[in-house]
Amino acid sequence: MKDLLSIYALTPSTIEEMIGRAKLLKQLSQSSKMCLSLQGKTLGMIFEKSSTRTRLSFEVGMTQLGGTAIFISSRDTQIARGESLQDTAKIFSRYLDAVVIRTFAQQYVDDFANYAEIPVINGLTDLLHPCQILSDIFTLSEIFCDYSRCKVAYIGDGNNIANSWINLAAKMPINLSLACPKGYEPNVEILARCCNEAPGSVLLTQDPFEAAKDADVLYTDVWASMGQEEEQEKRIRDFMGYRVDARLLQVAKKSAVVMHCLPAHRGEEISADVIDGKQSIVFQQAENRLHLQKAILEMLMIGGKKGE
Ligand code: CP
Ligand code: NVA
């Protein structure tokens, strides 16, 4: 595996391996044991969109593994002045050991990976957010013994988060149900591919209660993603009825957990009592970005040679 651009490109055993390694790295870090597996390595990070979790967890992850991360705001580089993607990717490959890119078009990260000799990690595009959903399945592995058979109900916009859940469902035997309003469905090709290949099940409905029924996990995300700010008002109207709140949680299993990739808008896609309630695991979920991404960094930068 050279890059991490989409969960769809991973095998189920690679995903299991990542989860296992993340578990070990989390234990090491909780017992204050050092693991300097990436000593001498440098990660570049090009961000064309805002970030709190992704930026921090990659930077801290590199530091904890003995390496260095360099944050590159694209507007301060020659990229913003039109230097070609091809040249940029080649130059980056001469200085860095890997690069994380957060941008708009998935094509940009795919092309960058084609030109770069170093691993490229998708830190979120309009289409996908693979690091988030890999971290989320790691979180579910901490909570459910047979996490791969969980019923995950995704309620809301058919966006990058929904598409990455669908890609995961094409690889792992989860039961995924998505409730999205008409006109806000996930990517058609990603969904069709998953329907053909899913080892578990995948269901798309417009009824949040149908999706949430007997679910082990209720998952939601913002109604307007980065880059869609001017649609915010319209989306608030169109997504009425898709809020994860106490009424919806009632139809899920009693043991259900509530997830949100964050940042959250309390009172829009999720009610404050639910996100701040007993069943919410959003902060465990956010923490696990760090551990799972450390496993990704090791896998891409040093393969099997991990030391501890
Ligand atoms: N969930 C997530 O990717 O958060 P940031 O946008 O803060 O990185
Ligand atoms: N769908 C959201 C996810 C943020 C982590 C966005 O793209 O803005």
Could you tell me if residue 77 is inside a domain? yes
**What is residue 304's predicted lDDT score, i.e. its pLDDT?**
64
Q: What is the mean pLDDT of residues 232-252?
A: 98
Which positions ≥6 away from 22 have C-beta within 8 Å? 135, 138, 288, 291, 292, 294, 295
**Three-class SS of 153-168:** EEECCCCHHHHHHHHH
Q: What is the mean pLDDT of residues 233-257?
A: 98
Could you tell me if residue 306 is inside a domain? no
75, 115, 118, 84: which is closest to 99 by C-alpha?
118
Pocket lining: 295 vs ligand 2, CB cutoff 6 Å: no
Are residues 138 and 123 located together in one domain of the fold? Answer: no
Q: What is the mean pLDDT of residues 213-225?
A: 98
Pocket lining: 161 vs ligand 2, CB cutoff 6 Å: yes
Ligand 2 centre from 103 Cα, in Å? 11
Are residues 118 and 153 located together in one domain of the fold? Answer: no
Q: Which atom of ligand 2 is nearest to the CA of 227?
A: 8
Could you tell me if residue 1 is inside a domain? no
Residue pLDDT, tens place only, 86-115: 999 999 999 999 999 999 999 999 999 999
- pLDDT category at 251 given cuts 50, 70, 90 is very high
Position 149 pLDDT exceeds 90: no
CATH of the domain at 156: 3.40.50.1370
Are residues 144 and 252 located together in one domain of the fold? Answer: yes
Are residues 148 and 14 located together in one domain of the fold? Answer: no
Are residues 66 and 205 located together in one domain of the fold? Answer: no
Q: What is the mean pLDDT of residues 128-148?
A: 95
Catalytic-residue membership of 261: yes
Residue pLDDT, tens place only, 259-288: 999 999 999 999 999 999 999 999 999 999
Range of the domain at 241: 132-286
Question: Which residue's C-alpha comes closest to atom 6 of ligand 1?
Answer: 51
Catalytic residue among 21, 53, 102, 235: 102
The separation between the first and the last C-alpha atoms of the chain, rounded to the nearest angstrom, is: 21
- pLDDT category at 305 given cuts 50, 70, 90 is low
Pick from 160, 228, 232, 261 the residue to mutate for probing ligand 2's pocket: most ligand atoms within 8 Å of its CB. 160
Pick from 53, 121, 133 the residue to mutate for probing ligand 1's pocket: most ligand atoms within 8 Å of its CB. 53
Catalytic-residue membership of 247: no
- pLDDT category at 306 given cuts 50, 70, 90 is low
Pick from 45, 48, 122, 124 the residue to mutate for probing ligand 1's pocket: most ligand atoms within 8 Å of its CB. 124
Pocket lining: 160 vs ligand 2, CB cutoff 6 Å: yes
Are residues 125 and 98 located together in one domain of the fold? Answer: yes
CB 118 within 8 A of CB 96: yes
Are residues 184 and 254 located together in one domain of the fold? Answer: yes
Q: Mean pLDDT, the chain, as a whole number?
A: 96
Ligand 1 centre from 286 Cα, in Å? 9
CB 96 within 8 A of CB 42: yes
Which positions ≥6 away from 240 have C-beta within 8 Å? none
Looking at the 3D structure of the chain, how many domains does it have? 2
Position 77 pLDDT exceeds 60: yes
Q: What is the mean pLDDT of residues 53-73?
A: 97
Are residues 45 and 115 located together in one domain of the fold? Answer: yes
